[in-house]
Amino acid sequence: MEGDEKIRRRGFTLIELLIVVTVIIILSSLAVVNFLQVRERAKRAAANSFIAQLETAINMYKIDTGCYPPDEKGSASLREALCPDPTDPIYSNPEWKGPYLEFKDKQVNNYGEILDPWHKGQDDRVHIYFYKADFDENPLTGPPFHNKSSYDIYSKGFDGKTGTDNTDGNEFADGNYCQNEIDNDGDGIVDELDPNGRGAANGYLEDDINNW
């Protein structure tokens, strides 16, 4: 009888151990998911904050020069205009009050473009800020497509994708989405729903950060 009792006790102990291990695995999974969601929200907040800094700097540049920073090379042109090289002759212009925003080395890739919080190193040309400005003062033309009388700044977010055709600046297929402020597919990220139909496999395009 004593042997049977020991076996039963050993069996119960094994079952209890399995239950504990299962609970730990579940809690660990929840913690990882929560951590990833918190980290993603932090990056979104950082991107929004930086775009606000860029807007302030661009507006100051516009006041001093009468036009928006050039956009031939996207955010690379924007960076060069807001914070030129120390040898640039613009520093001798009394009307110019810059630099308007200084950039750290880790904020710029090897091509001079401004990196967003999701970047994967200095060679990354996907996770950057994209910039287009209005120069002809005609709101009927574009780009920019959203702030037609000023400028568009946006980041493609964590997936490096925006729109359905991967063409930067395409008005309807590249970031022109209503943000319904709801996490429709339950992944912890606020969705952007394509008003013209399903724009991605799950019907949503997520995480784009912009100034429109």
Residue 151 lies inside a defined structural domain of this protein: yes
pLDDT of amino acid 170: 47
Is there a domain that residue 41 lies in? Answer: yes
Identify whether 109 is part of a domain.
Answer: yes
**What per-residue confidence (pLDDT) applies to 95?**
80
Residue 181 lies in a domain: no
State the number of CA atoms in the 13 A half-sphere of 198 facing the CB: 4
Is residue 210 assigned to a domain? no
For residue 157, being part of any structural domain is answered with yes
Distance CA 173, CA 156 (A): 13
Q: What is this structure's pTM?
A: 0.71
Give the structural domain span for 132. 2-166
Q: Is residue 173 part of a domain?
A: no
Residue pLDDT tens, the chain, 212 long: 555 555 555 556 778 778 888 888 887 777 766 766 778 888 888 999 999 999 999 999 999 988 999 999 999 999 999 999 999 988 888 888 999 999 999 999 999 999 999 999 999 999 999 999 998 877 777 778 778 889 999 898 877 766 444 455 444 444 444 345 556 555 565 555 544 444 444 444 556 788 87
Per-residue pLDDT at 72: 94
53 within 8 A of 99, measured Cβ to Cβ:
no
Strand bridging mode 191-193 / 129-133: unpaired
193: in domain: no
pLDDT score recorded for residue 127? 93
HSE-CB of 28 using CA atoms within 13 angstroms? 6
The rounded distance, in Å, linking the Cα atoms of 144 and 147 is: 6
Distances (CA, A) of 158 to 64, 87, 106, 119: 35, 36, 18, 8
The tally of domains found in the chain comes to 1
